[in-house]
């Protein structure tokens, strides 16, 4: 019996396509947290981010045969979520974005949790104010730890443009955070 | 991560897998994507050929009748089959739209790709015109009638203008 967790994404996809479609749960497990974090940054809202990710996973499943196994699966699925987020953003353009509220988990060390939450809130607040063309590459580079090539594949922009946007985003982030 | 989001994460997997199990969602067959790629490629080739042909036809009509030759500009504007260059531009635009579907379109500077594509079409059209293929096609071959129709409209206006009309 093969240990599923040792298989690469492409191998899991191959099994889902041909033998066991329910193994798609493994793909969801591997990516849901990362994609939820990414989509939440784009949408500026966790719940709308979750809707985007759900739609993204469904579209990815439907189009699984369209994935080229020679390419990186993570870039492909991030691209689908990116497209889904962009569609939802353009649909809800006229809607006022909901305020991002981080609910605290119940923890033993309340002070540490409070400081951590404050820092996260503060960083989120700075990120939220940034235009999406800078916010997205910045979150992909620093939070999702994607390379410039991967970001280029996800956003479908040249690698050079990725570098420029990340550098500009850093400058904007610095200014925005210093303001507060 | 917030509590509600944690719940959503747990529900996400359940919801999707239930849809998979119940066949509410299913994987599109491989042929669907192969057909998609073939159509995209055929579209690119078709639009490119169409754009080359119509650009070449525009050059041919301009060369035959003006714009600084026998016709006055006013006459050129009223009688020139404008749909030919318009369709040529539409062909170029659609060709560019098809090019965007390919991975190389974002790996290289797309403005350069676009410029090369447009210049290639104009160059190909110019070469076809210079080789005299238009003259041959307008006299013989399956598209002779088409050439006569397009050129005929211009010729009839030319004759009217010769008699001091318009």
Chain A residues closer than 8 Å to B30 by CB:
65
Interface of B with A in 26-55 (CB under 8 A): 26-30, 32-33, 36
A132 and A78 both lie in a single domain: no
Residue A66 shares a structural domain with residue A148 = no
Q: Rounded mean pLDDT of B136-165? A: 61
Q: How large is the average pLDDT for residues B58-83?
A: 66
State whether A4 and A55 are in the same domain: yes
Range of the domain at A13: 1-97
Q: Which of A97, A125, A153 is the last residue of a domain?
A: A97
Residue A102 domain-assigned (yes or no): no
Q: To the nearest 10°, report the CA torsion of B60, B66, B68, B71.
A: 180
Average the pLDDT over each of A101-105, A141-145, B21-25, B99-103 and give the range with the smallest value: A101-105
Question: Given a cut of 60, is residue B69 above it in pLDDT?
Answer: no
Sequence-distant (≥ 6) Cβ neighbours of residue B15 within 8 angstroms: A54
Q: Where residue A80 sits, what CATH number does that domain have?
A: 1.10.1740.10
Does residue B1 have a pLDDT over 60? no
- Distance separating alpha carbons of residues A172 and A180, to the nearest angstrom: 13
Residue A20 lies in a domain: yes
Task: Find out whether B129 and B59 touch, Cβ atoms under 8 Å.
Answer: yes
The CA-atom distances, in angstroms, between B110 and each of A123, A136, A157 are: 34, 21, 9
CB-based contacts of B79, cutoff 8 Å, min separation 6: B71, B153, B154, B157, B158
The answer to whether residues B88 and B54 touch, using CB atoms and an 8 Å cutoff, is yes
* Distance (Å, whole) CA A154 – CA A156: 6
Share the mean pLDDT of chain B: 77
For chain A, give percent helix, strand, coil, nearest 5.
75, 0, 25
Inspect the interface and report whether the beta carbons of A25 and B29 lie closer than 8 Å: no
Distance of CA B74 to the CA centre of its chain: 28
Instruction: Examine the fold and report which residue of A63, A97, A131 is the final residue of a domain before the chain moves on.
Output: A97
Q: How far apart are CA B20 and CA A24, in angstroms?
A: 9
Interface contact flag, A33 B9, Cβ < 8 Å: yes
Q: Please give the average per-residue pLDDT across A43-60, as a whole number.
A: 90
What is the average pLDDT score of chain A?
83
The CATH number of whichever domain residue A175 belongs to comes to 1.10.10.10
- The tally of domains found in chain A comes to 2
Q: Of A97, A122, A141, which marks where a domain is finished?
A: A97
* Chain B residues lying within 8 Å of A103, measured CB to CB: 2-4
Q: Do both A178 and A144 map to the same domain?
A: yes
Q: Does residue A167 sit within a domain?
A: yes
Q: Examine residue A131 and state whether it is found in any structural domain, yes or no.
A: yes
Q: Is A58 in the same domain as A137?
A: no
> From the centroid of its chain, how far is CA A75?
11
Verify that A138 and A66 share a domain, yes or no. no
Q: Kindly state whether B20 is in contact with chain A, defined as any CB-CB distance less than 8 angstroms.
A: yes
The average pLDDT across B60-76 equals 62
Predicted local distance difference test score (pLDDT) of residue B162? 43
ipTM of this complex prediction, to 2 decimal places: 0.73
Tell me: do A131 and A69 sit in the same domain: no
Q: Kindly state the percentage of chain B with pLDDT values over 90.
A: 14
- The SS3 assignment for B61 reads helix
């Amino acid at each position: 019996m093969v240990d599923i967790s040792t298989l690469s994404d492409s191998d899991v996809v191959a099994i889902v396509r041909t033998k066991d479609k329910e193994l798609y749960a493994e793909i969801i497990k591997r990516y849901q947290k990362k994609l939820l974090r990414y989509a939440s940054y784009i949408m500026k809202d966790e719940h709308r981010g979750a809707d985007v990710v759900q739609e993204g996973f469904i579209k990815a499943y439907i189009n699984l045969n369209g994935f080229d196994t020679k390419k990186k699966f993570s870039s492909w699925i991030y691209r689908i979520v990116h497209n889904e987020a962009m569609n939802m953003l353009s649909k809800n353009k006229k809607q006022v974005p909901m305020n991002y509220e981080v609910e605290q988990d119940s923890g033993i060390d309340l002070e540490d949790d409070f400081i951590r939450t404050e820092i996260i809130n503060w960083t989120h607040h700075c990120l939220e104010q940034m235009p999406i063309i800078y916010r997205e590459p910045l979150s992909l580079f620093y939070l999702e730890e994607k390379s410039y090539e991967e970001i280029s594949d996800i956003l479908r922009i040249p690698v050079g443009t990725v570098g420029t946007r990340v550098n500009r985003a850093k400058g904007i982030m610095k200014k925005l955070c210093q303001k507060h | 991560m917030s509590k509600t989001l944690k719940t959503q994460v747990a529900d996400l997997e359940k919801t999707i897998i239930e849809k998979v199990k119940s066949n509410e969602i299913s994987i599109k067959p491989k042929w669907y994507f192969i057909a998609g790629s073939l159509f995209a490629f055929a579209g690119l080739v078709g639009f490119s050929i169409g754009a080359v042909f119509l650009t070449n036809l525009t050059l041919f009509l301009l060369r035959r009748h003006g714009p600084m030759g026998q016709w006055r500009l006013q006459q050129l504007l009223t009688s020139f089959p404008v749909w030919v260059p318009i369709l040529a531009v539409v062909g170029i635009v659609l060709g560019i739209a098809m090019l965007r579907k390919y991975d190389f379109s974002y790996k290289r500077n797309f403005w350069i790709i676009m410029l090369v594509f447009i210049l290639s079409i104009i160059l190909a059209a110019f070469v076809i015109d210079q080789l005299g293929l238009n003259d041959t096609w307008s006299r013989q071959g399956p598209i002779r009638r088409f050439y006569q129709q397009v050129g005929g409209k211009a010729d009839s206006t030319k004759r009217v203008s010769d008699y001091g009309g318009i």
